[in-house]
């Protein structure tokens, strides 16, 4: 049977639910009785097996591959720039800068600029230089330079990925 009816099940404890189930039953009875006439009237063909749908799936797969390549290229560009000259961030609408969990017991907040100073041979961790920016009570902006040793690169990459819109080009 080409027609399918889908309905949710729930506790039937009020007038609305009883009426809903009665309506679903009437629709199901009508479809069962008039199945051949409905098929003839609507000329139902399966859209999932059509040539157009197969082309849509093929193009969707190609688009996904291109988006993945684009994302990987952007990621590699950010990492290269991070190692060569460092990356700067713009504050969000609340005038806050990104933060990074350097270790389990140490987080650096308000990161204005970050740069990889040295990477390990495996590339899994790095020494980083972080410039934090903050304002004092008078509204004056101050920068503070901090270095952190042996920071896991996956945490740095997560920072860059999450705040990619805030990176200054």
pLDDT of residue 46 exceeding 70: no
**pTM beyond 0.75, yes or no:** no
pLDDT of residue 153 exceeding 80: yes
Query: Which pLDDT score is estimated for 1?
Result: 59
The tens digit of pLDDT for each residue in 69-78 reads 999 999 999 9
Give CA–CA dist 68/62, Å, rounded.
Answer: 10
Query: Which pLDDT score is estimated for 18?
Result: 87
Give CA–CA dist 169/157, Å, rounded.
Answer: 17
Give CA–CA dist 72/78, Å, rounded.
Answer: 10
Q: Which helix (H) or strand (E) holds 67?
A: helix 51-84
Cβ proximity of 105 and 147 under 8 Å: no
Query: Which pLDDT score is estimated for 2?
Result: 66
- Banded model confidence at residue 7, pLDDT cuts 50, 70, 90: confident
Residue spans of the domains in the chain: they are 1-44, 75-166
Q: Show the CA angle centred on residue 71, arms to residues 168 and 158, nearest 5°.
A: 65
């Amino acid at each position: 049977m080409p027609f399918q009816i889908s309905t949710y099940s729930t506790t039937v404890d009020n007038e609305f639910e009883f009426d809903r189930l009665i309506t679903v039953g009437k629709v199901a009875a009508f479809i069962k009785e008039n199945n051949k006439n409905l098929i003839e009237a609507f000329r139902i063909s399966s859209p999932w097996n059509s040539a157009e749908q197969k082309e849509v799936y093929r193009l969707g797969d190609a688009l996904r591959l291109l988006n993945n390549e684009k994302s990987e290229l952007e990621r590699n560009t950010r990492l290269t720039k991070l190692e060569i000259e460092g990356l700067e961030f713009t504050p969000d609408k609340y005038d806050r800068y990104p933060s990074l969990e350097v270790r389990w017991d140490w987080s650096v907040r308000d990161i204005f600029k970050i740069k990889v100073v040295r990477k390990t041979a495996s590339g899994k961790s790095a020494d980083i230089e972080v410039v934090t920016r903050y304002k004092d009570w008078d509204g004056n902006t101050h920068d503070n330079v901090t270095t952190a040793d042996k920071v896991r690169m996956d945490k740095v990459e997560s920072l860059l990925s999450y705040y990619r819109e805030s990176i200054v080009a």
